[in-house]
Structure 1
Amino acid sequence: MDLRTRITAALKQAMKDKDAKRLSTLRLINAAIKDRDIALRGEGNENGVDDAGVLTILGKMVKQRQESARAYEEGGRLDLSEAERAEIKVIEDFLPKQLSETEVETAVDDAIAKVDASSIRDMGKVMGELKSRYTGQMDFGAVGPMVKDRLSA
């Protein structure tokens, strides 16, 4: 079952369960996917967003909510921070399991070996390889410095 089908099924179930908070988050996910579909149609792609694109959208949504939750906590608005964290949990239901630190290090080493990277100039190739294989499974903001360290050593 592809991600869109899973999201739609979860949306219907949330309606049946009268789970308003989950339902609103699922509607936000659907809206983000439809926005991306529309943008792709404008670029000439009639097929819409594939599963990798949906994973990218979900990853961005999680990151946005983490930043918002942090800002709310700093501002003393714990109620709003909790609401953001609740949305993160709903979104993460559709993301693959996050890789552990050890798995991330192994994936980085494998990607460096696969693209035969030897210097910092090859960082883009390594990141491209990682993104094609591990979208939604790792935080690329944290992985970037790790790749840079490995290539500059």
Structure 2
Amino acid sequence: MAEFSIKEKITEDMKVAMRAKEKQRLGVIRLIQAAIKQREVDERISLDDTQVIVVLDKMLKQRRDSIEQYEKAKRQDLVDQEAFEIQVIKTYLPQPLTETELANLITHAIQATGATTVKDLGKVMGILKVQVQGRAEMKQVSDQIKQRLNQ
């Protein structure tokens, strides 16, 4: 059987969730589809897997930010909902990078750009963004690069 694209997998999972009457999961899948569709309509394109990963990454970041706000407001019910959505969204992303893989990518990017100070962060991030998209949190990557360049 041929490998499904991420969009096809999302559609299949939506059908499964509908049949299984998994309302909460179905709601999240529909949010994902709406975000993808919105970008396709706005840009008049059909998204490929790489672009879908960018959309999913953005959704994850929004949910992490929301969790922070909800925790400050002591709204555990909303924190739980956002955490559930994060888990569903993550199922469509590629396997996360290990610490070692990420460290190696950062090392190669720093060497490739000749970065020596934190002022060079943008150059390093430019190379890494494509390689780690959907596989690592960009804030975490940025923090690790800063740490390396400050040594």
TM-score interval, normalised by the smaller of the two chains: 0.7 to 0.9
The list of structure 1 runs, each at least 4 consecutive aligned residues, that deviate by more than 3 angstroms after superposition, is 114-122
| 1:128 paired residue number | 126
2:99 to 98, 101, 112: 101
Give the letter aligned to residue 31 of structure 1. A
Aligned residues with identical type, % of pairs: 40
Where 1:137 maps in the other structure, the secondary structure is coil
> Shift of residue 118 of structure 1?
4.5
C-alpha distance in 2 between matches for 1:88 and 1:152: 32
C-alpha distance in 1 between matches for 2:78 and 2:119: 42
C-alpha distance in 2 between matches for 1:107 and 1:30: 31
Where 1:97 maps in the other structure, the secondary structure is coil
| 2:65 paired residue number | 67
TM-score in terms of structure 1 length: 0.86
| 1:19 paired residue number | 22
| 1:44 paired residue number | none
C-alpha distance in 2 between matches for 1:129 and 1:18: 43
C-alpha distance in 1 between matches for 2:141 and 2:71: 25
| 2:51 paired residue number | 53
- Aligned-pair Cα RMSD in Å: 1.8
Residue segments in structure 2 that go unaligned for 5+ positions in a row: none
Give the letter aligned to residue 30 of structure 1. Q
**Closer/same/farther in 2, CA of residues 66 and 121 from structure 1, 3 Å limit:** closer
> Shift of residue 36 of structure 1?
0.6
TM-score in terms of structure 2 length: 0.87
